[in-house]
Structure 1
Amino acid sequence: MWFMAILSWLAIIVQVSFIIMSLAAGLYYLTELVEEYTVIASKVIRVIIFITIAIYLCLIIFENLPLGLLLSGIISQLVHLCILKNFPFFTFTSVPFISGIILLFVNHYLAFTFFADGIYPLSQVLGFFTLCLWIVPFAFFISLSANDNILPTLAETRPLVSDDSDVVSHYFSRKTKKYGLYSFFNYCKDNFLGSRVKKSF
């Protein structure tokens, strides 16, 4: 009996490890796609936002959820549309970005206080959280490093040094460190997996 218990715990550890590796590989692939196709990613995020607004409207019509929770969710989706205007550039100190973060916490608080009663089953609660609260912020999260490889333009938000009007040479001479999910995955790949040597035959 004790050996089967140990075996089951070992199997759980192996399964969780596979799930984590699969999630990491999927996130790496998604961030690579977003960096490669920023225009398509912007359109996909816009469609996801409109679908989420439609879900909120259906919840207002068909379900008996608190109106404050649903209106707060719709307002947060409108704020997400404001953030999407400058995609793939994110200004972390802008009013839409900060208000989007605040509304994310407010929506989670309102949802947790409502669903804490246990009236709805866990699958419905997870469905609400996934489609109404998590999917759009997750899409923005994997898009944070999308502007790392965008060609520079004069409309870029960072000011040029002195009177240098050569945007391209200024862009490639910058030594700023890149942050984002894709940069983090590349760092992990380079430092933990090592470099693969191609065989010559």
Structure 2
Amino acid sequence: MWFLYFLSWIALIVQISFITVAIAAGLYYLAELVEEYTVISKKIILWMTFLTLGCYVCFLLFEELPNMMVVCGIVSQVAHLYILKTFPFVVIFSPEFIIAVILIFINHYLAFQYFSTVYYSFSEVMAYFTLCLWMVPFALFVSLSANENVLPTVTESRPLLGGDNDVVSNYFSKKGKKYGLLSLFNYLKDTLLVQRSKKTF
């Protein structure tokens, strides 16, 4: 009896490890796709945002969710639309980005508070969290790595033109460190995985 119980815990650890590796591989693949196809990624995230806005309108019409929860959800989707105006260049300290991050926490708080008092099935609660709270922020989080490949723009040239540096040389000299999701995965791949040396004949 105790041995099977012990094996169940070992199996759970193995399953969690496999799921973690699968999620990391999927995130790495999505980050590479976003870097390669930024225009298509922007359109997909835009349509996802409009789909989520449509869900909130349907909540107003067909469900009895609290108005505060629905209004906060709509405001957060509007903030996501403002973030997409400069996509793939995302300014992390811009007001719309900060408002979107704050509204993520507020929306989660309101959703947990409501669903803990009113009974809904698990699939309905997960549908709300997945489609209305997680889908667009997750897509924006994955697309932050596309910010590394943005070329310098005219708005960036003004502070760079003082002195001997021009826009392009300053851009490429600052290009040494990258902080996106894809850079994190590449760093983990280089440090954790054993590299095989190729044989030269």
TM-score by length of 2: 0.92
- The 3 A distance-change label for structure 1 pair 158 and 58 is farther
- CA offset at residue 102 of structure 1? 1.4
Q: Show the counterpart of 1:9.
A: 9
Structure 2 segments unaligned to the other structure (5+ residues): none
2:20 partner letter: I
- The 3 A distance-change label for structure 1 pair 36 and 175 is closer
Report the number of matched residues: 201
- CA offset at residue 93 of structure 1? 1.8
Rounded to whole Å, the distance in 1 between the matches of 2:191 and 2:36 is 23
8 Å contact 1:83–1:97 — kept in the other structure?
yes
- CA offset at residue 158 of structure 1? 8.1
CA RMSD, Structure 1 to Structure 2 (Å):
1.9
- CA offset at residue 81 of structure 1? 0.2
Structure 1 segments unaligned to the other structure (5+ residues): none
What is the SS of the residue equivalent to 1:87? coil
8 Å contact 1:164–1:170 — kept in the other structure?
no
Task: Point out the more displaced range, 175-184 or 122-131.
Answer: 175-184
Task: Point out the more displaced range, 154-163 or 166-175.
Answer: 154-163
Richer in helix (by share): 2
What is the SS of the residue equivalent to 2:117? coil
- The 3 A distance-change label for structure 1 pair 153 and 51 is same
Moved over 6 A (4+): none
Task: Give the % identical residues.
Answer: 58
Q: How does 1:14-163 map onto structure 2 within 5 Å?
A: 14-156=14-156, 159-163=159-163
What is the SS of the residue equivalent to 1:4? helix
Q: Show the counterpart of 1:168.
A: 168
Q: Show the counterpart of 2:197.
A: 197
- CA offset at residue 152 of structure 1? 3.0
- CA offset at residue 154 of structure 1? 2.8
